[in-house]
Amino acid sequence: MWWMNEERQMIAAAAREFAEQEVRPAAKLMEEEEKYPEAAIRKLGELGMLGLTIKEEYGGAGADYVNYGLMIEELAKESHGFGLLAYLASELTLGLIEKMGTPEQVKDLIAKGLTGEKIYGICFTEPCGVGNPMEYETRAVLDGDEWVINGGKIFITNADIADTFFVIAKTSDYNPATMTGLTFFVVPSDTPGLTVGHIENKLGWKGSHTGQLYFKDVRIPKDAIIGAVDNAWLPLNVALLPMFATYGPMNLGAMETIFQKTLVFLKSRVQCGVSLWDAHESIRIDMMKMFLKIDNYRSAVYSALEDENRGENISAKAVALKMQGADLLEEIASQCIELHGGTGTVYETGIERFYRDAKMGTVGCGSNRTLINSLASMIFQ
């Protein structure tokens, strides 16, 4: 593969070893007990894996996005849901702080997140939807030297886990023409007035605690903001959209695991003295078609990440990778379950949970139906 070199092979090997030793047992507890894999996430930090893309001056590895993608791919081979949590603990929070924060904020917040000492959560979504700031109801009002926040958020990952939340709230009426009126706040989880509501019992992404947060007269210091007052929405979108590319290696790793498990099963399942693989040409054809789709998706993933390394704006490609990857993962998982027969629906086979996680990927961080409209506006503007 053209994107591989000696350094990247070492990163992939290290991530693979970590996934087998740490993620595999954690994934079992995530599925069976809804347990957040705190120890494994913190160990990722201790090993420096949460800071792969963060600049060395802030304590990161200063590696590129292909290296980061290889790590996420290996983690997701064991658990798509763990890949999501690793993404949230690294690029989605630390990367966002690096891009938007002041030097002082970057040094403080990133340093604590890099080691796994602090776990972060991002609070966008409200009942009106994640991408509908016009109807957001969470508001912050300046009272002397403090901001006072009131409102609520839903579908917040790490709702009862995070040490600190990054919260988007209205600080004036939202203006769609200028995308102004919202501010991004730093809110410690133990701040008086901040309470955790219901934790959802979801179809997939087990162990990722998703729930509601309520803000009642939550007071934080005047300077506890990231970016400029009233001007957070546009910079957030500019920073966040390219990060959707992380769903690429995350989906890819899950596809690879499902495919390999199915290939092994078909070659070892013997009926009347002949394996299913040898007995059915149609099965070999179906598997070859899946292999080609996975291989093409792999090329698209690492091509986009290499484009990002070169400084290109990959927002549209990143959204497409998330959207198409979720659909392809669902398709691959569905076919592989059928090829396993009844055993494909059994938990111990290790297939069905990827199918459930695939469906989560079609709605998490913006549904595919919403994203395809956003993608059209990017492409045909």
62-74: per-residue pLDDT in tens?
Answer: 989 999 999 999 9
Helix (H) or strand (E) holding 23: none
Cα–Cα distances (Å) from 143 to 139, 193, 204, 249, 320, in that order, read 13, 16, 42, 45, 43
Instruction: Say what the pTM is.
Output: 0.95
Contact 238, 192 (CB under 8 A): no
Cα–Cα distances (Å) from 197 to 210, 212, 213, 304, 361, in that order, read 10, 5, 6, 38, 23
Q: Taking 80 as the threshold, does the pLDDT of residue 301 lie above it?
A: yes
pLDDT digits (tens, 9 = 90+) for 164-173: 999 999 999 9
**Strand, helix or coil for residue 239:** helix
The predicted structure's pLDDT at residue 379: 87
Band (pLDDT 50/70/90 cuts) for residue 367 is confident
Q: For the chain, which domains are there? A: 6-114 (1.10.540.10), 120-231 (2.40.110.10), 238-379 (1.20.140.10)
Beta bridge partners of 185: 167, 225
Q: Hey, what amino acid is at 269?
A: R
The predicted structure's pLDDT at residue 103: 84
Per the prediction, the chain carries an average pLDDT of: 95
Q: Taking 80 as the threshold, does the pLDDT of residue 4 lie above it?
A: yes
The predicted structure's pLDDT at residue 107: 83
37 token code pair: 């894999």
Q: Looking at the chain, how many residues does it have?
A: 381
Residue of 279, 283, 275 whose CA lies nearest to 259: 283
Give 274's contacts (C-beta < 8 A, 6+ positions apart): none
Mean pLDDT for 178-189 is 97
59 Rama class: left (phi>0) / alpha (psi -120 to 50) / beta? left
pLDDT digits (tens, 9 = 90+) for 248-283: 999 999 999 999 999 999 999 999 999 999 999 999
